[in-house]
Amino acid sequence: MGGDTGVDTVGATDVDTGATADGAAKGITARLAAFVAQADAGAIPDAVLHEGRRCLVNLFGVALHATQDPALPMLLDVLQAEGGRPRATVIGASRRVPLMHAALANGLLAHLDDFDDTFFPTVLHPSAPTIPAALALAEDRGTDGRTFLAATVLGLEACCRVALSIQQMRHGALWHMTGTAGVFGSAAAAGRLLGLDAATMAVAFGLAGTQASGLRETFGTMTKAFHPARAAQSGLLAALMAQRGFSSTARILEGPHGFAQAFAAGAFDPGAIVDGLGERWLLMDNAPKPYASAILSHPMVDAMLALRTQPGVSPAQVVRIGGRVNPLAIRLESRPEPADGLAARLSFQHAMAAAFVDGACLPAQFTDARVHDPVVAGVRRLIEMAPDPAIPQHGCEVELSLDDGRVLRHAIEHATGSPGRPVSDAQLEAKFLALAGTVLTAARARRLLGQLWQVDGLPDVGVLLRACRRP
Protein backbone atom coordinates (compact mmCIF):
# COMPACT_ATOMS: atom_id res chain seq x y z
CA MET A 1 0.00 0.00 0.00
CA GLY A 2 1.99 3.00 -1.20
CA GLY A 3 1.38 6.71 -1.10
CA ASP A 4 2.19 7.52 -4.73
CA THR A 5 0.07 6.18 -7.56
CA GLY A 6 2.26 7.68 -10.25
CA VAL A 7 -0.71 9.54 -11.74
CA ASP A 8 0.12 13.02 -12.99
CA THR A 9 -3.17 14.82 -12.34
CA VAL A 10 -6.89 14.46 -11.79
CA GLY A 11 -7.69 17.64 -13.66
CA ALA A 12 -8.20 20.10 -10.82
CA THR A 13 -8.20 23.65 -12.18
CA ASP A 14 -5.71 26.05 -10.66
CA VAL A 15 -7.11 29.13 -8.97
CA ASP A 16 -5.44 32.36 -7.88
CA THR A 17 -4.81 31.72 -4.20
CA GLY A 18 -2.55 34.62 -3.40
CA ALA A 19 0.27 32.29 -2.37
CA THR A 20 3.68 33.94 -2.11
CA ALA A 21 7.18 32.78 -1.33
CA ASP A 22 7.05 34.46 2.08
CA GLY A 23 3.58 33.19 2.90
CA ALA A 24 3.43 29.51 2.01
CA ALA A 25 0.17 29.00 3.86
CA LYS A 26 -1.76 31.64 1.93
CA GLY A 27 -4.59 30.28 -0.16
CA ILE A 28 -4.43 26.78 1.27
CA THR A 29 -8.18 26.60 1.87
CA ALA A 30 -8.91 27.86 -1.66
CA ARG A 31 -6.56 25.35 -3.24
CA LEU A 32 -8.04 22.39 -1.38
CA ALA A 33 -11.55 23.60 -2.16
CA ALA A 34 -10.74 23.94 -5.87
CA PHE A 35 -9.31 20.45 -5.96
CA VAL A 36 -12.37 18.87 -4.39
CA ALA A 37 -14.84 20.89 -6.46
CA GLN A 38 -13.10 20.64 -9.84
CA ALA A 39 -11.26 17.30 -9.89
CA ASP A 40 -12.07 15.13 -12.90
CA ALA A 41 -13.79 12.07 -11.42
CA GLY A 42 -12.92 10.03 -14.49
CA ALA A 43 -9.21 10.59 -13.91
CA ILE A 44 -9.10 9.33 -10.32
CA PRO A 45 -6.74 6.31 -10.43
CA ASP A 46 -8.29 2.86 -10.22
CA ALA A 47 -6.16 2.01 -7.19
CA VAL A 48 -7.55 5.04 -5.33
CA LEU A 49 -11.13 4.15 -6.24
CA HIS A 50 -10.48 0.62 -5.02
CA GLU A 51 -9.24 2.01 -1.71
CA GLY A 52 -12.48 3.96 -1.51
CA ARG A 53 -14.43 0.73 -1.96
CA ARG A 54 -12.36 -0.88 0.81
CA CYS A 55 -13.28 2.01 3.10
CA LEU A 56 -16.94 1.48 2.26
CA VAL A 57 -16.82 -2.29 2.86
CA ASN A 58 -15.09 -1.76 6.18
CA LEU A 59 -17.48 0.95 7.32
CA PHE A 60 -20.62 -1.06 6.59
CA GLY A 61 -19.21 -4.09 8.41
CA VAL A 62 -18.26 -2.27 11.59
CA ALA A 63 -21.44 -0.15 11.53
CA LEU A 64 -23.70 -3.17 11.19
CA HIS A 65 -22.02 -4.86 14.14
CA ALA A 66 -22.28 -1.66 16.20
CA THR A 67 -26.06 -1.52 15.76
CA GLN A 68 -26.13 -3.92 18.73
CA ASP A 69 -24.46 -1.33 20.97
CA PRO A 70 -26.74 0.36 23.55
CA ALA A 71 -25.48 3.77 22.42
CA LEU A 72 -27.52 3.63 19.20
CA PRO A 73 -31.01 3.35 20.75
CA MET A 74 -30.09 6.15 23.16
CA LEU A 75 -29.26 8.44 20.26
CA LEU A 76 -32.25 7.35 18.19
CA ASP A 77 -34.60 7.97 21.11
CA VAL A 78 -33.46 11.59 21.23
CA LEU A 79 -33.54 12.06 17.46
CA GLN A 80 -36.92 10.43 16.95
CA ALA A 81 -38.47 12.62 19.64
CA GLU A 82 -37.57 15.61 17.47
CA GLY A 83 -39.44 14.27 14.44
CA GLY A 84 -38.63 15.65 11.00
CA ARG A 85 -39.00 14.52 7.40
CA PRO A 86 -37.55 11.03 6.76
CA ARG A 87 -34.95 11.30 4.00
CA ALA A 88 -32.11 8.88 4.71
CA THR A 89 -31.45 5.57 6.43
CA VAL A 90 -29.50 4.60 9.53
CA ILE A 91 -27.41 1.55 8.59
CA GLY A 92 -29.19 -1.61 9.67
CA ALA A 93 -32.33 0.26 10.75
CA SER A 94 -35.88 -0.37 9.54
CA ARG A 95 -36.95 3.16 8.73
CA ARG A 96 -35.64 6.45 7.43
CA VAL A 97 -34.84 9.58 9.42
CA PRO A 98 -34.07 13.23 8.62
CA LEU A 99 -30.93 13.79 6.58
CA MET A 100 -28.57 15.05 9.27
CA HIS A 101 -29.90 12.55 11.79
CA ALA A 102 -28.74 9.77 9.46
CA ALA A 103 -25.27 11.31 9.13
CA LEU A 104 -25.03 11.64 12.90
CA ALA A 105 -26.21 8.10 13.66
CA ASN A 106 -24.08 6.44 10.98
CA GLY A 107 -21.03 8.40 12.09
CA LEU A 108 -21.60 7.05 15.59
CA LEU A 109 -21.98 3.47 14.35
CA ALA A 110 -18.81 3.71 12.27
CA HIS A 111 -16.62 4.36 15.32
CA LEU A 112 -18.39 2.73 18.28
CA ASP A 113 -16.37 -0.48 18.12
CA ASP A 114 -13.07 1.34 17.46
CA PHE A 115 -12.71 -1.08 14.56
CA ASP A 116 -12.73 1.36 11.65
CA ASP A 117 -9.86 2.49 9.43
CA THR A 118 -6.80 4.57 10.26
CA PHE A 119 -4.74 6.98 8.18
CA PHE A 120 -1.02 6.62 8.79
CA PRO A 121 1.02 8.35 10.16
CA THR A 122 -1.74 10.26 11.95
CA VAL A 123 -4.30 8.62 14.21
CA LEU A 124 -7.18 9.87 12.06
CA HIS A 125 -10.12 7.58 11.27
CA PRO A 126 -11.30 9.27 8.04
CA SER A 127 -14.24 7.12 6.96
CA ALA A 128 -16.35 7.56 10.11
CA PRO A 129 -16.98 11.29 9.60
CA THR A 130 -16.77 11.35 5.78
CA ILE A 131 -18.79 8.45 4.40
CA PRO A 132 -21.95 8.91 6.54
CA ALA A 133 -22.39 12.48 5.28
CA ALA A 134 -21.97 11.40 1.66
CA LEU A 135 -24.18 8.36 2.15
CA ALA A 136 -27.10 10.33 3.59
CA LEU A 137 -27.00 12.96 0.87
CA ALA A 138 -26.53 10.43 -1.93
CA GLU A 139 -29.46 8.32 -0.75
CA ASP A 140 -31.72 11.36 -0.52
CA ARG A 141 -30.77 12.57 -3.99
CA GLY A 142 -30.84 9.15 -5.66
CA THR A 143 -27.18 9.53 -6.62
CA ASP A 144 -25.53 6.83 -8.69
CA GLY A 145 -22.69 4.82 -7.23
CA ARG A 146 -19.96 6.18 -9.49
CA THR A 147 -20.69 9.77 -8.50
CA PHE A 148 -20.96 8.78 -4.85
CA LEU A 149 -17.66 6.91 -4.87
CA ALA A 150 -15.78 9.82 -6.46
CA ALA A 151 -17.20 12.27 -3.90
CA THR A 152 -16.32 9.90 -1.07
CA VAL A 153 -12.74 9.46 -2.28
CA LEU A 154 -12.26 13.22 -2.63
CA GLY A 155 -13.70 13.78 0.83
CA LEU A 156 -11.44 11.14 2.35
CA GLU A 157 -8.41 12.66 0.63
CA ALA A 158 -9.25 16.13 1.95
CA CYS A 159 -9.75 14.72 5.43
CA CYS A 160 -6.40 12.92 5.39
CA ARG A 161 -4.52 15.96 4.13
CA VAL A 162 -5.94 18.28 6.78
CA ALA A 163 -5.10 15.73 9.48
CA LEU A 164 -1.54 15.38 8.23
CA SER A 165 -1.07 19.14 8.27
CA ILE A 166 -1.81 19.29 12.01
CA GLN A 167 -0.51 15.88 13.05
CA GLN A 168 1.77 17.33 15.72
CA MET A 169 -1.27 18.42 17.72
CA ARG A 170 -1.89 14.85 18.82
CA HIS A 171 1.29 14.83 20.88
CA GLY A 172 -0.47 17.23 23.24
CA ALA A 173 -3.11 14.54 23.76
CA LEU A 174 -5.93 17.08 23.99
CA TRP A 175 -7.92 17.01 20.78
CA HIS A 176 -9.40 14.02 18.96
CA MET A 177 -8.03 14.11 15.43
CA THR A 178 -11.11 12.42 13.95
CA GLY A 179 -13.50 14.93 15.46
CA THR A 180 -11.42 17.90 14.36
CA ALA A 181 -10.09 17.10 10.89
CA GLY A 182 -13.15 14.96 10.20
CA VAL A 183 -15.41 17.94 9.46
CA PHE A 184 -13.40 18.68 6.33
CA GLY A 185 -13.94 15.19 4.97
CA SER A 186 -17.69 15.34 5.44
CA ALA A 187 -17.98 18.88 4.07
CA ALA A 188 -15.85 18.00 1.05
CA ALA A 189 -17.79 14.86 0.18
CA ALA A 190 -21.17 16.52 0.69
CA GLY A 191 -20.10 19.66 -1.15
CA ARG A 192 -18.93 17.60 -4.10
CA LEU A 193 -22.28 15.79 -4.28
CA LEU A 194 -24.08 19.14 -4.16
CA GLY A 195 -21.96 20.43 -7.04
CA LEU A 196 -20.49 23.36 -5.12
CA ASP A 197 -18.03 25.50 -7.06
CA ALA A 198 -14.57 26.19 -5.67
CA ALA A 199 -15.49 29.45 -3.94
CA THR A 200 -18.58 27.98 -2.30
CA MET A 201 -16.63 24.88 -1.27
CA ALA A 202 -14.15 27.14 0.53
CA VAL A 203 -17.06 28.72 2.40
CA ALA A 204 -18.32 25.24 3.32
CA PHE A 205 -14.87 24.50 4.73
CA GLY A 206 -15.16 27.69 6.78
CA LEU A 207 -18.48 26.59 8.20
CA ALA A 208 -17.12 23.11 8.85
CA GLY A 209 -13.84 24.16 10.42
CA THR A 210 -15.47 26.43 12.95
CA GLN A 211 -17.44 23.42 14.23
CA ALA A 212 -14.38 21.19 14.63
CA SER A 213 -14.05 19.67 18.08
CA GLY A 214 -13.60 16.55 20.16
CA LEU A 215 -11.76 16.32 23.48
CA ARG A 216 -9.73 13.28 24.46
CA GLU A 217 -10.97 13.54 28.04
CA THR A 218 -14.08 11.71 26.82
CA PHE A 219 -12.11 8.71 25.52
CA GLY A 220 -13.21 5.43 27.01
CA THR A 221 -16.87 6.46 26.84
CA MET A 222 -19.59 6.51 24.16
CA THR A 223 -18.65 10.14 23.50
CA LYS A 224 -15.49 9.15 21.63
CA ALA A 225 -17.70 7.83 18.82
CA PHE A 226 -19.90 10.92 19.13
CA HIS A 227 -17.00 13.00 17.78
CA PRO A 228 -17.00 11.58 14.22
CA ALA A 229 -20.80 11.48 14.41
CA ARG A 230 -20.94 15.20 14.98
CA ALA A 231 -18.22 15.77 12.40
CA ALA A 232 -20.33 13.95 9.81
CA GLN A 233 -23.39 15.98 10.73
CA SER A 234 -21.47 19.28 10.94
CA GLY A 235 -19.78 18.88 7.57
CA LEU A 236 -23.06 18.01 5.88
CA LEU A 237 -24.74 21.01 7.48
CA ALA A 238 -21.84 23.23 6.39
CA ALA A 239 -22.15 22.17 2.75
CA LEU A 240 -25.92 22.66 2.73
CA MET A 241 -25.66 26.11 4.32
CA ALA A 242 -22.91 27.20 1.94
CA GLN A 243 -25.02 26.07 -1.01
CA ARG A 244 -27.73 28.46 0.15
CA GLY A 245 -25.38 31.44 0.40
CA PHE A 246 -24.58 31.42 4.10
CA SER A 247 -21.32 33.32 4.53
CA SER A 248 -18.10 32.29 6.23
CA THR A 249 -14.37 32.80 5.91
CA ALA A 250 -12.68 31.42 2.80
CA ARG A 251 -9.40 30.90 4.67
CA ILE A 252 -10.43 28.77 7.63
CA LEU A 253 -7.30 26.59 7.46
CA GLU A 254 -4.59 29.24 7.24
CA GLY A 255 -6.29 32.32 8.76
CA PRO A 256 -4.60 33.97 11.76
CA HIS A 257 -7.52 32.96 13.95
CA GLY A 258 -8.38 29.81 12.05
CA PHE A 259 -8.21 26.06 12.27
CA ALA A 260 -4.44 25.58 12.15
CA GLN A 261 -3.83 28.20 14.82
CA ALA A 262 -6.45 26.65 17.06
CA PHE A 263 -5.29 23.06 16.77
CA ALA A 264 -1.63 23.16 15.77
CA ALA A 265 -0.25 26.62 16.40
CA GLY A 266 3.41 26.60 15.42
CA ALA A 267 3.20 23.08 14.00
CA PHE A 268 1.00 23.59 10.94
CA ASP A 269 2.35 22.05 7.74
CA PRO A 270 0.51 23.64 4.78
CA GLY A 271 2.49 21.52 2.35
CA ALA A 272 0.76 18.42 3.68
CA ILE A 273 -2.47 19.81 2.22
CA VAL A 274 -1.33 21.01 -1.19
CA ASP A 275 1.93 19.26 -2.11
CA GLY A 276 1.23 16.66 -4.78
CA LEU A 277 -2.49 17.39 -4.67
CA GLY A 278 -4.03 15.29 -7.42
CA GLU A 279 -0.75 13.48 -8.05
CA ARG A 280 0.06 11.70 -4.79
CA TRP A 281 -2.97 10.25 -3.01
CA LEU A 282 -2.64 10.11 0.77
CA LEU A 283 -5.70 7.88 0.90
CA MET A 284 -3.41 5.04 -0.17
CA ASP A 285 -1.90 5.18 3.32
CA ASN A 286 -5.28 4.57 4.93
CA ALA A 287 -6.09 1.05 6.11
CA PRO A 288 -8.86 -0.95 7.79
CA LYS A 289 -8.06 -2.13 11.29
CA PRO A 290 -7.43 -5.84 11.89
CA TYR A 291 -8.04 -5.46 15.63
CA ALA A 292 -10.83 -3.78 17.60
CA SER A 293 -8.50 -1.68 19.73
CA ALA A 294 -6.80 1.68 19.44
CA ILE A 295 -4.30 1.67 16.60
CA LEU A 296 -1.08 2.10 18.60
CA SER A 297 -1.74 -1.15 20.44
CA HIS A 298 -1.69 -3.21 17.24
CA PRO A 299 2.03 -4.07 17.10
CA MET A 300 1.84 -5.24 20.70
CA VAL A 301 -1.21 -7.36 19.88
CA ASP A 302 0.70 -8.93 16.99
CA ALA A 303 3.57 -9.75 19.34
CA MET A 304 1.31 -11.31 21.97
CA LEU A 305 -0.50 -13.43 19.39
CA ALA A 306 2.86 -14.74 18.22
CA LEU A 307 4.23 -15.38 21.71
CA ARG A 308 1.19 -17.35 22.85
CA THR A 309 1.93 -19.97 20.17
CA GLN A 310 5.35 -20.80 21.63
CA PRO A 311 5.60 -24.33 23.13
CA GLY A 312 4.70 -24.61 26.78
CA VAL A 313 3.38 -21.07 27.15
CA SER A 314 0.21 -20.34 29.13
CA PRO A 315 -1.08 -17.35 31.11
CA ALA A 316 -0.41 -19.16 34.40
CA GLN A 317 3.32 -19.38 33.60
CA VAL A 318 3.90 -15.68 32.89
CA VAL A 319 5.55 -13.65 35.65
CA ARG A 320 6.35 -10.48 33.70
CA ILE A 321 5.63 -8.88 30.32
CA GLY A 322 7.96 -6.09 29.25
CA GLY A 323 9.51 -4.56 26.20
CA ARG A 324 9.81 -1.33 24.25
CA VAL A 325 7.25 0.67 22.30
CA ASN A 326 6.92 4.11 20.74
CA PRO A 327 6.37 6.74 23.47
CA LEU A 328 3.15 7.89 21.82
CA ALA A 329 1.53 4.53 22.56
CA ILE A 330 2.21 4.98 26.26
CA ARG A 331 1.12 8.59 26.26
CA LEU A 332 -2.18 8.00 24.47
CA GLU A 333 -3.13 4.38 25.16
CA SER A 334 -1.83 3.38 28.59
CA ARG A 335 -4.76 2.34 30.79
CA PRO A 336 -3.54 -0.43 33.08
CA GLU A 337 -6.90 -0.82 34.85
CA PRO A 338 -9.74 0.00 32.42
CA ALA A 339 -13.11 0.24 34.12
CA ASP A 340 -15.15 -1.36 31.35
CA GLY A 341 -15.14 -2.52 27.75
CA LEU A 342 -15.28 1.00 26.33
CA ALA A 343 -12.22 2.08 28.28
CA ALA A 344 -10.45 -1.17 27.43
CA ARG A 345 -10.41 -0.29 23.73
CA LEU A 346 -8.05 2.54 24.65
CA SER A 347 -5.83 0.29 26.81
CA PHE A 348 -2.86 -1.35 25.13
CA GLN A 349 -2.46 -3.42 28.30
CA HIS A 350 -5.92 -4.91 27.91
CA ALA A 351 -5.49 -5.46 24.17
CA MET A 352 -2.24 -7.33 24.84
CA ALA A 353 -3.67 -9.40 27.69
CA ALA A 354 -6.91 -10.33 25.92
CA ALA A 355 -5.06 -11.27 22.75
CA PHE A 356 -2.69 -13.46 24.74
CA VAL A 357 -5.46 -15.23 26.67
CA ASP A 358 -8.08 -15.49 23.92
CA GLY A 359 -5.95 -15.62 20.79
CA ALA A 360 -8.02 -12.80 19.28
CA CYS A 361 -8.49 -9.04 19.53
CA LEU A 362 -12.01 -8.53 18.21
CA PRO A 363 -15.11 -6.83 19.67
CA ALA A 364 -15.74 -9.89 21.85
CA GLN A 365 -12.50 -9.12 23.70
CA PHE A 366 -13.74 -5.68 24.71
CA THR A 367 -16.80 -6.47 26.75
CA ASP A 368 -17.15 -5.63 30.42
CA ALA A 369 -16.96 -9.35 31.15
CA ARG A 370 -13.57 -9.75 29.48
CA VAL A 371 -12.23 -6.67 31.28
CA HIS A 372 -13.12 -8.18 34.64
CA ASP A 373 -12.16 -11.75 33.80
CA PRO A 374 -9.59 -12.73 36.45
CA VAL A 375 -7.22 -14.41 33.98
CA VAL A 376 -7.21 -11.48 31.58
CA ALA A 377 -6.90 -8.97 34.42
CA GLY A 378 -4.05 -10.98 35.93
CA VAL A 379 -2.05 -10.93 32.69
CA ARG A 380 -2.81 -7.24 32.21
CA ARG A 381 -1.24 -6.38 35.57
CA LEU A 382 2.05 -8.02 34.56
CA ILE A 383 2.62 -5.62 31.65
CA GLU A 384 5.24 -2.87 31.89
CA MET A 385 6.22 -1.45 28.51
CA ALA A 386 9.01 1.12 28.30
CA PRO A 387 8.98 4.09 25.90
CA ASP A 388 11.65 4.20 23.20
CA PRO A 389 11.56 6.91 20.51
CA ALA A 390 13.68 4.67 18.28
CA ILE A 391 10.73 2.29 17.94
CA PRO A 392 8.30 3.33 15.15
CA GLN A 393 4.61 3.67 15.90
CA HIS A 394 3.87 0.49 13.94
CA GLY A 395 6.54 -1.57 15.72
CA CYS A 396 7.46 -2.91 19.16
CA GLU A 397 9.59 -5.40 21.06
CA VAL A 398 7.87 -7.59 23.67
CA GLU A 399 9.32 -10.16 26.05
CA LEU A 400 7.65 -12.72 28.28
CA SER A 401 9.35 -13.86 31.47
CA LEU A 402 8.11 -17.31 32.53
CA ASP A 403 8.15 -19.04 35.88
CA ASP A 404 10.59 -21.67 34.61
CA GLY A 405 13.23 -19.00 33.94
CA ARG A 406 12.71 -18.71 30.19
CA VAL A 407 12.47 -15.29 28.55
CA LEU A 408 10.74 -15.26 25.17
CA ARG A 409 11.08 -12.26 22.87
CA HIS A 410 9.24 -11.14 19.76
CA ALA A 411 9.75 -7.99 17.68
CA ILE A 412 7.26 -6.46 15.27
CA GLU A 413 8.58 -4.23 12.50
CA HIS A 414 5.27 -3.53 10.77
CA ALA A 415 2.01 -4.17 12.59
CA THR A 416 -0.77 -6.00 10.78
CA GLY A 417 -2.86 -3.40 8.98
CA SER A 418 -0.08 -0.83 8.69
CA PRO A 419 1.08 0.31 5.23
CA GLY A 420 4.02 -2.05 5.45
CA ARG A 421 1.75 -5.03 6.13
CA PRO A 422 -1.72 -4.13 4.85
CA VAL A 423 -4.94 -6.01 5.36
CA SER A 424 -5.70 -7.84 2.10
CA ASP A 425 -9.03 -7.74 0.31
CA ALA A 426 -9.62 -11.34 1.39
CA GLN A 427 -8.94 -10.46 5.03
CA LEU A 428 -11.22 -7.45 4.74
CA GLU A 429 -14.00 -9.62 3.32
CA ALA A 430 -13.61 -12.08 6.20
CA LYS A 431 -13.83 -9.20 8.66
CA PHE A 432 -16.95 -7.82 6.96
CA LEU A 433 -18.73 -11.17 6.87
CA ALA A 434 -17.92 -11.88 10.52
CA LEU A 435 -19.24 -8.51 11.65
CA ALA A 436 -22.22 -8.16 9.32
CA GLY A 437 -23.12 -11.78 9.98
CA THR A 438 -23.95 -10.95 13.59
CA VAL A 439 -27.04 -9.02 12.42
CA LEU A 440 -27.72 -10.25 8.85
CA THR A 441 -28.09 -13.76 7.49
CA ALA A 442 -25.01 -15.10 5.76
CA ALA A 443 -26.74 -14.84 2.38
CA ARG A 444 -27.73 -11.20 2.92
CA ALA A 445 -24.25 -10.31 4.16
CA ARG A 446 -22.63 -11.82 1.08
CA ARG A 447 -25.08 -10.09 -1.24
CA LEU A 448 -24.38 -6.73 0.43
CA LEU A 449 -20.64 -7.35 0.21
CA GLY A 450 -20.94 -7.88 -3.53
CA GLN A 451 -22.89 -4.64 -3.93
CA LEU A 452 -20.31 -2.70 -1.93
CA TRP A 453 -17.45 -3.96 -4.11
CA GLN A 454 -19.46 -2.96 -7.18
CA VAL A 455 -20.77 0.32 -5.82
CA ASP A 456 -19.72 2.35 -8.84
CA GLY A 457 -22.06 0.27 -10.99
CA LEU A 458 -25.15 0.95 -8.86
CA PRO A 459 -27.77 3.26 -10.37
CA ASP A 460 -28.80 4.40 -6.88
CA VAL A 461 -26.72 4.29 -3.68
CA GLY A 462 -29.92 3.73 -1.72
CA VAL A 463 -29.64 0.08 -2.78
CA LEU A 464 -26.91 -0.35 -0.15
CA LEU A 465 -29.06 0.94 2.69
CA ARG A 466 -32.06 -1.13 1.63
CA ALA A 467 -29.87 -4.23 1.43
CA CYS A 468 -29.04 -4.08 5.14
CA ARG A 469 -32.35 -2.99 6.61
CA ARG A 470 -33.58 -5.12 9.47
CA PRO A 471 -37.24 -6.12 9.87
pLDDT at 471 over 90: no
Domain count, the chain: 2
309 and 259 in one domain? no
Instruction: Choose among 363, 376, 361, 174: nearest CA to 265.
Output: 174
Domain match, 312 and 225 both: no
pLDDT, mean over the chain: 93
Query: Residue 428 falls within a domain, yes or no?
Result: no
Task: Return all residues near 243 (Cβ < 8 A) that are at least 6 apart.
Answer: 191, 194, 196, 200, 204
Asked if residue 188 and residue 149 are part of one domain, the reply reads: yes
Tell me, yes or no, whether 285 and 302 share the same domain: no
Which contacts of 405-411 are long-range, i.e. CB under 8 A and separated by 24 or more positions?
408/307, 408/310, 408/313, 409/323, 410/303, 410/306, 410/307, 411/303
> What is the number of alpha carbons within 13 Å of residue 471 lying toward its C-beta?
3
pLDDT by residue (tens digit) across 367-383?
Answer: 999 999 999 999 999 99
* Residue 346, domain CATH: 3.30.1330.120
Question: Has residue 364 got a pLDDT over 70?
Answer: yes
Q: What is the pLDDT of residues 308-350, one digit of tens each?
A: 999 989 999 999 999 999 999 999 899 999 999 999 999 999 9
C-alpha distances (whole Å) from 144 to each of 10, 235, 292, 322, 464 are: 20, 21, 32, 52, 11
> What is the pLDDT at residue 7?
32
User: What average pLDDT does the segment 426-448 reach?
Assistant: 97
Does residue 5 form part of some domain? no
- For the chain, the residue count is 471
Q: What are phi and psi of 309, to 5 degrees?
A: -90, -5
Residue 62: inside a domain: yes
Domain range enclosing 76: 28-290+435-467
pLDDT band of 25, cuts 50, 70, 90: confident
Eight-state DSSP code of residue 89: E
| 321: DSSP letter | E
Say which CATH number the domain at 147 has: 1.10.4100.10
Q: Which of 137-146, 256-265, 424-433, 444-453 bottoms out in mean pLDDT, i.e. has the lowest?
A: 256-265
Residues 242 and 311 in one domain: no
Q: What is the DSSP string of 265-296?
A: TT---THHHHTTTTTS-GGGGEEE-SSSS-GG
Better-scored residue on pLDDT, 157 or 14 = 157
- Domain membership of residue 19 (yes or no) is no
Do 197 and 93 lie in one domain? The reply is yes
What does the pLDDT read at residue 266? 79
- Asked if residue 153 belongs to a domain, the reply is yes
Most confident of the following: 10-19, 75-84, 190-199: 190-199
pLDDT higher than 60, residue 128: yes
Residue 12 domain-assigned? no
Query: pLDDT tier at 298 (50, 70, 90 boundaries)?
Result: very high
Mean pLDDT confidence for 175-181: 95
Residue 137 lies in a domain: yes
Q: Is position 82 within any domain?
A: yes
Half-sphere exposure (Cβ direction) of 118: Cα atoms closer than 13 Å: 25
pLDDT of 68 over the 70 cut: yes
Cis amide leading into 121 (omega within 30): yes
| Tens-digit pLDDT profile for residues 183-198 | 999 999 999 999 999 9
